[in-house]
Structure 1
Amino acid sequence: CREEEAHEAARRAAEECYNCRTHNNCQECGKETPKGWLKCSECREASKLAKATVIEAASLDYCFGAGGEFYHSTDEAAEAGEPYVYASTFTPFRIDFDNIVENILDDHHEDASQHDLVSLNEFEAAVAKFNAAQTSGSYFEDCSRVAHLVTEGGEA
């Protein structure tokens, strides 16, 4: 190709080089956004909200604000000025039996198997009993469900 075309192709390649780039432009609004993202934070949040199913705020005991803040109630979130909250999903503490057995076997010879382990059934029953007894755990954000809150100005 001609020298001008080669120069233009090299310039375009340098501008589009991921390693050289300092930022991206949002694919939706064009706003400058950090290099690792294709959308700005506002457009990502709008997209997440658009996909979520709207639920009643009264149905939530624990929830998360848009910034990931955990709230014990929707009233607490509303007092903090959150216009909406995402639901949460509770996950109790638990032991993964298969993971423990795999870890035990990984520390031994390559032919080691569950058949080499004594009292494995009793251990599995104990783990199941432990897991069933757990009432504490963690709450994780569930962005598939959102509740709009009434703010001090009366907006929902």
Structure 2
Amino acid sequence: MNDAHVIADIDPSREPIVLVALDDPEHNPKLFACRTCGNAYSVKQVGILNARDMAINCTDCNPKTYACDMCGCETPRYWTRCYSCRHEAKLAAATEVVDDGGPYCAFGGDTYYFDMGEAADAGVDWVSPCTVSYPQINADSVLETLLDDMFEDSSIDDMAGVEAFYAAVKSFNDAQTTPTYFGDDKRKIRVPRDTDGSPEGRDAQRLDGEAATAGAEGIAQPSGSEQSA
């Protein structure tokens, strides 16, 4: 089947606009355009059959619907998985680790907590432990950038004060005390909860845990009256 036969054998109501060169006696199609919005598709770029098909099935006039491959709900354009299922899949793939004492990041989110109780109060079920970084200058990278602006075959040996520069950068890096936290979504920590989710219940759990730890270490526990005092 040749292209000419394919182009002739179409439903006239869906016929795209065909653009040809005025000086072409054979009137070979150059572009196919959507009859509704005018979006044009080049024969040279995608081929005559693809250009025609793209004009007939213009995505602006006939937007394709996308569905989540897990739950089947409709998703935004080009998304194959909804946000909720993406979150669940990421959570399932993460490794559960013990509480490292914080800080924490809401799993899959950008809210940070410095105390596990804050996460519990916010109703979060899972948090990620955080990696911590400080402002740092990469001395080698700075020098390489300078070399790019120098003459060909130049090297660090052609610079003066390199050792002093490295010392200054080290001093600067060592002096930084302002941290930046990044949640690690490859790891997860379950947020502990009591039966009613109240802060009082969490405090009771903490006290029970401390008592159990002390008992295991052979430390005598005070009586109720001593605790009240």
TM range (shorter): 0.7 to 0.9
Matched, 1:146 2:188: yes
Unaligned runs of 5+ residues in structure 1 are none
Whichever of the two has the greater Rg, that structure is 2
Alignment of 1:17-28 (within 5 A): 21=63, 24-28=66-70
1:65 corresponding residue in structure 2: 106
For 2:86, the equivalent position in structure 1 comes to: 44
Tell me which of the two structures has the higher relative contact order, counting C-alpha pairs closer than 8 angstroms and 6 or more residues apart: 1
Of 5, 11, 14, the match for 2:57 = 14
In 2, Cα distance between equivalents of 1:107 and 1:139: 35
Instruction: State the identity %.
Output: 32
- Taking structure 2 as the reference length, the TM-score comes to 0.55
Unaligned runs of 5+ in 2: 15-49, 198-229
User: What is the root-mean-square deviation of aligned Cα atoms in Å?
Assistant: 3.1
In structure 2, the CA distance between the partners of 1:86 and 1:126, relative to structure 1 (3 Å rule), is: same
Counterpart of 1:78 in structure 2 is 120
Aligned residues: 150
2-structure distance, mates of 1:122, 1:21:
61
User: Offset of 1:136 from its aligned partner?
Assistant: 2.4
What is the Cα deviation at residue 91 of structure 1? 1.1
Find the residue that maps to 1:86 and give its secondary structure. Answer: strand
TM-score, structure 1 length as denominator? 0.77
**Could you give the per-residue CA deviations for residues 94-128 of structure 1, whole angstroms, max 9, x where no partner exists?**
10112211232333444443222101122112212
Partner in structure 2 of residue 130 of structure 1: 172
From 130, 147, 155, the counterpart of 1:113:
155
